[in-house]
Chains A and B, each alone.
Chain A
């Protein structure tokens, strides 16, 4: 028969856990609101930036700027964005899995990583892959300047031909409940081909001051904006994932408490019955 005291202790411990998960859920929910707003407001700018860059890049030669240079080489650099904390469901795991998949596609010594977030670093630190840089603790103090710094370092690595392609792997914020792992090629910037409709042709722009200056400025800005967007997406996704995970944890804890309470009551009743039988038996024996 289960020990009454043990069951009681377990109920108490599950209750404590439930309180913690509930609190974490509330915290995640409030952080999510902020992060969601940030990403929703940053998206239009990023989209427009991409449009304009596409228009411009499609019109001019790819050898006009080092960041447009498509090379044959196979040296890949991945910027992977994970969280600093766990307890957010499959959020970090899916990023790590995707990254491992991509690392396998290429010979080992041709890959390198830049890792943002403690969780990703914990995993890849011990694996045989070249880590160029890490940004542990980014979730605490991320801002536009940080994105700029990262964007510039990526651009430098690329234009010095240390790497031939740069990818970002991050969680895109779909909704509070859903994230999607995205693998995005950041460099070289590949412009979408303009559709050539019958009878129309891509009209060249009037540039002020001149094409190269604008392209250079735009590309730099684009890098920052894209990196910044990826981080914001990741941050919103993280809070969403954590909120969902903690919500289900709270619910599970509730179910567990219910089941344990049932066992506890059954055990208590059995104990009482047993005592009663003992008393009755004792009384019977005395009578005899």
Chain B
């Protein structure tokens, strides 16, 4: 019998994924990680980037932005701020968001908080664009 991980990916808007998979690859803040069966319990912060999982030889790719990953007892829980399947990404919107964020970051009247927020937006947009390029 093959040993499976139970993966669930949730965002504040909805539950994206809830199924049994073979492997999960996530973008951790300290570097990308691959998670296989019997992984040690881990709790980590995610950055914006590409998350993929393998199921029966097929790979499904999502782009997530920020959030947390928990692994216990072969349950993988991803709590992302936003998450989209690769095929759902709206490139035009992401490009617009990137341009806007870059423009705003270049201005001088920006507060520290807004700077951080805008920077996050920029990373999110870049992550979306980079990962959807292959399509």
Closest approach, in angstroms, between the C-beta of B121 and any C-beta of chain A?
Answer: 14
Quick check: A209 and B30 within 8 Å, CB to CB? Answer: yes
Quick check: A45 and B10 within 8 Å, CB to CB? Answer: yes
The majority secondary structure among interface residues of chain A is: helix
Bound complex: CA A135 to CA B45 (Å) = 33
A64 within 8 A of B: no
B-side contacts of A144, CB under 8 Å: 12
Max count, chain A CB within 10 A of own CB: residue among B10, B15, B29, B43: B43
The majority secondary structure among interface residues of chain B is: strand
Q: Decide yes or no: A217 and B72 within 8 Å by CB, A206-B40, A209-B30 being known contacts.
A: no
Q: 8 Å CB contacts to A: which residues of B27-41? A: 28-30, 40-41
B79 within 8 A of A: yes
Bound complex: CA A204 to CA B14 (Å) = 29
A80 within 8 A of B: no
Q: Decide yes or no: A55 and B70 within 8 Å by CB, A204-B41, A208-B29 being known contacts.
A: yes
| In the complex, per-residue mask of A32-71: 1 if CB is within 8 Å of any chain B CB, else 0 | 0000000001101100110110011000000000000000
Bound complex: CA A218 to CA B81 (Å) = 12
Count how many chain A residues have C-beta atoms less than 8 Å from C-beta atoms of the other chain: 25
A-side contacts of B29, CB under 8 Å: 208-209
Of the residues B11, B42, B45, contact of A45 by C-beta under 8 Å: B11
Bound complex: CA A107 to CA B44 (Å) = 43
A81 within 8 A of B: no
A-side contacts of B30, CB under 8 Å: 208-209
Quick check: B41 and A205 within 8 Å, CB to CB? Answer: yes
B88 within 8 A of A: no
B68 within 8 A of A: yes
| In the complex, per-residue mask of A205-226: 1 if CB is within 8 Å of any chain B CB, else 0 | 1111100011001100100010
A123 within 8 A of B: no
- Find the B residue at minimum CB distance from A45: B10
Quick check: B14 and A41 within 8 Å, CB to CB? Answer: yes
Of the residues B15, B28, B40, B77, contact of A41 by C-beta under 8 Å: B15
B13 within 8 A of A: yes
Closest approach, in angstroms, between the C-beta of B55 and any C-beta of chain A?
Answer: 20
Q: Decide yes or no: A56 and B43 within 8 Å by CB, A41-B15, A209-B29, A218-B68 being known contacts.
A: yes
B74 within 8 A of A: no
A-side contacts of B131, CB under 8 Å: none
B8 within 8 A of A: yes
B-side contacts of A42, CB under 8 Å: 12-14
B-side contacts of A55, CB under 8 Å: 43, 70, 72
A228 within 8 A of B: yes
Q: Decide yes or no: A44 and B14 within 8 Å by CB, A55-B70, A207-B44, A214-B44 being known contacts.
A: yes
- Find the A residue at minimum CB distance from B40: A206
A-side contacts of B10, CB under 8 Å: 44-45, 48
A283 within 8 A of B: no
Q: Decide yes or no: A203 and B44 within 8 Å by CB, A44-B10, A52-B68 being known contacts.
A: no
B-side contacts of A205, CB under 8 Å: 41-43
Q: Decide yes or no: A48 and B41 within 8 Å by CB, A41-B15, A42-B12, A228-B12 being known contacts.
A: no
Quick check: A207 and B13 within 8 Å, CB to CB? Answer: no
12 A–B pairs (Cβ distance < 8 Å), ordered by A: A41-B13, A42-B12, A42-B14, A44-B8, A45-B15, A45-B79, A51-B70, A55-B43, A144-B12, A204-B41, A206-B40, A207-B43
Chain B contact residues, CB within 8 Å of chain A: 8, 10-15, 28-30, 40-45, 68, 70, 72, 77, 79
Question: 9 closest A-B pairs (Cβ-Cβ)?
Answer: A41-B14, A208-B44, A44-B15, A206-B42, A45-B10, A205-B43, A52-B70, A205-B41, A44-B10
